[in-house]
Structure 1
Amino acid sequence: MPLIMMSGFPASGKTTRANQIRDFFNSKIAELSPTDPRVARLKLHVVSDGGLGVSKEVYREARPEKDARATFYGAVKRLLSADDIVIADGMNYIKGYRYQLHCESKALLTPSCVIYVGTPAEKCKEWNAAKGSEKREGGEETGGEGKGDSWEAYAPDVLDNLIFRYEEPNGMTRWDSPLFVVPWMDEDIPGEEIWNAMVNNEAVKPHLATVLKPAAEANYLQILDKTTQDVVSAVLDYQKTNGAGGSVKISEASTTIELPANHVGLAQLQRIRRQFISFNRQHTAERTRLKSMFVEYLNKELE
């Protein structure tokens, strides 16, 4: 049965998303098993570095990392079968490695997909630093990557190196397709769409929040830059006239910006803007949706 490959920057929240998919699939299996013998036979497995006893320190040097990938690959290969759904909860950040995993599922005539957890590098570093601080202080094990699970922080230099080497999934290639993009600020995963694509073998319908669009307008980056700057300028102009707090209506946006009680400075707005651009520079959203997407992103960041 299907292979679900998680992918994203280290400390991006992949394990949290993998657990959401696991819970959704288990609920679907429990719901449909009484009336569907095919579903009743399904078993779900999650393969992760932590579950295999692989330390984050293996990513510091090439040889240990290669051995760790081989261990992960072997565990996935052993579990794949006609009645087993495997969630490969790793970075899977090398496109050639994702291709190898795709070929394993293809050899068994079973589908595969990639779940790209879209979290900006700055947010990953923030979550990773918070986790490292909790570990040093003996705090409870919670964090960005796998909330509620024991999770080891990356050394900052290892984290930077892995982010630099990350090879983003491309929905136009067969081994990264179907590709589901889950933005970090979304609370839920597109569970029904993943289930339909992997278990019911339904074609994935294009959806802005979950599927990477294949082509960009020639001046997409310029449009992205100007659109986000216009929103920032609107917020600054509003605060000059009205002070802190309140709702800012943005033309062509489907929602308003809800400002906090304290004043929001230019530096904070530009930092949020840079994060949004960094996340969306490779993702070709429809031009008419950009303002709404940035407004939603701002509201999440300003909560």
Structure 2
Amino acid sequence: MPLIVVTGVPCSGKTTRSTELKQFFESHGKEVHVVSEFDQIIKANFEKNAFFSGYRYELYCGSKANKNTQCTVHTEINRDEAWKFNEKRPELERYIRDTFDALLMRYEDPDGKNRWDSPLFVVFPGQELDKSAIMSCLFDSEPVVPNMSTQNPPLNSTNLYDLDQVTKKITDGLVKSKNMGVQGAVKIEDFPHLSIDISNVTVQKLMILRRQYLSYCKLHPPDTKQIPQLFIQYLITSLQ
């Protein structure tokens, strides 16, 4: 089933756009299931996952592994206007100022250059959403072909300790190279057949990507023997 990820800061119109898309697709004979982030938070105290690029990457991997098409709808809005909308919400759904500002700080905007955020449709309040283009990219395009970095291997074949140690060793080696001023492709210590271009990545970004990969693997554990290759593929994909 094609997937639409609707993402945006609080009170930017995600629910409104989701309803609009649901009505549009149903009018064209499509079955639509809306997974409300707010409902899931109430049920299970979940984090606001769609805020984070890493979680959107997980959704991308799931779609890719199941040979489904996907796109991202980003509901953009002026932050002051979003706060005004927040003040008009029901008390149960309203944020206090500190929480609202914290969520704005933590939000990671989608980037159409990222495979997992593409195709990206950006829409502002009062602007017409190009629903026909969304339908075309979901139903007239071929799904992305799964590869090793996005397929779900057997759940019982992993060892979290090995996962932590291997990814730490690779990340530490890349950080060491960055601190030494190395540019271009770097070979991975103990894994000479693997390399990655570190020219356009910061040390902080490498640390963030490692944490995101560990979080992803808790839900989709890889085969222990494939950890180095899969982690490097994840880094390469994330940095493109």
**Bin for the TM-score computed over the shorter chain:** 0.5 to 0.7
**Runs (4+) off by over 3 Å:** 50-53
In 2: Cα distance, 1:27 partner to 1:44 partner: 11
Shift of 1:53: 5.8
In 2: Cα distance, 1:101 partner to 1:13 partner: 21
**Which residue does the alignment assign to 1:12?**
12
In 2: Cα distance, 1:167 partner to 1:193 partner: 24
Residue 119 of structure 1, aligned match among 74, 77, 80 = 77
User: Is the 8 Å Cα contact of residues 7 and 91 (structure 1) preserved in structure 2?
Assistant: no
Q: Aligned ranges for residues 55-74 of structure 1 at < 5 Å? A: 64=45, 68-69=46-47
**Which residue does the alignment assign to 1:104?**
62
Indicate whether 1:47 and 2:5 are aligned. no
Q: Secondary structure at the match of 1:160?
A: helix
In 1: Cα distance, 2:105 partner to 2:11 partner: 14
**Which residue does the alignment assign to 1:253?**
none
Number of residue pairs aligned between Structure 1 and Structure 2? 143
Q: CA RMSD in A?
A: 2.3
**Which residue does the alignment assign to 2:137?**
197
User: Is the 8 Å Cα contact of residues 6 and 91 (structure 1) preserved in structure 2?
Assistant: no
Task: String of CA shifts for 1:78-116, please: whole Å, max 9, x gaps.
Answer: xxxxxxxxxxxx771100010001100000001111100
Q: Aligned ranges for residues 70-219 of structure 1 at < 5 Å? A: 92-131=50-89, 135=91, 152-186=93-127, 188-201=128-141
In 2: Cα distance, 1:91 partner to 1:200 partner: 29
Q: Aligned ranges for residues 234-253 of structure 1 at < 5 Å? A: none
Output the amino acid matched with 2:32: L
User: Is the 8 Å Cα contact of residues 25 and 31 (structure 2) preserved in structure 1?
Assistant: no
Shift of 1:173: 0.7
TM-score, structure 1 normalization: 0.44
In 2: Cα distance, 1:160 partner to 1:53 partner: 19
In 1: Cα distance, 2:49 partner to 2:100 partner: 12
Task: String of CA shifts for 1:119-175, please: whole Å, max 9, x gaps.
Answer: 11111101001225xx4xxxxxxxxxxxxxxx7112221111000111110000100
User: Is the 8 Å Cα contact of residues 10 and 91 (structure 1) preserved in structure 2?
Assistant: no
- Percent identical pairs in the alignment equals 36
Structure 1: which 5+ residue stretches go unaligned? 30-41, 59-63, 70-89, 136-150, 204-303
CA gap 1:156/1:6 in 2 versus in 1, 3 angstroms: same
User: Is the 8 Å Cα contact of residues 69 and 142 (structure 2) preserved in structure 1?
Assistant: no
User: Is the 8 Å Cα contact of residues 10 and 124 (structure 1) preserved in structure 2?
Assistant: yes
In 1: Cα distance, 2:11 partner to 2:84 partner: 9
In 2: Cα distance, 1:92 partner to 1:50 partner: 11
